[in-house]
Amino acid sequence: MTNCNKTAKKNNIKDCKPAYKFIHPHLKEMCAYANMAGGQKYDDWNFLYGHDLDDLLDAMERHIDKIRQGEWADDDATAYLRKRCEGSTKIVTHLGCVLANVNMILHQLDAGTLKMSGRLAKLYELEDS
């Protein structure tokens, strides 16, 4: 909070509000297309039933690995998007899938359905000790 207040004073801003100007315009679109593909594959809003945080982070890591390997488009997710939106030429990117996983985590945190088991649960247990 202190850094935000210092920044606000430095820039002569009365309070420190989110600076949406830093959010790339395609971020929402990439995330939305990935979520739409997931909705076609599984069911819209199915993720609100809860996933394990460890599993979501692993999925994000798999998509990040694909990006590192030079693969931008997620062909499987793109096929689901095009099934949902007949005639669409849009692609679902691995980066969009990472964003969709972040979105799912945030939704589940709000809904109270995010599960923690495995190595993350152990980490949180250690922090509470």
pLDDT tens-digit readout, 34-55: 999 999 999 998 888 889 998 9
For residue range 60-97, list pLDDT tens digits in order.
Answer: 999 999 999 999 999 999 999 999 999 999 999 999 99
HSE at residue 106, side-chain half, CA atoms within 13 A, is 7
Structure tokens at 101: 């996983």
Q: How far apart are CA 72 and CA 65, in angstroms?
A: 10
Yes or no: say if 50 and 108 are a contact pair by the CB < 8 Å rule: yes
Yes or no: say if 33 and 81 are a contact pair by the CB < 8 Å rule: yes
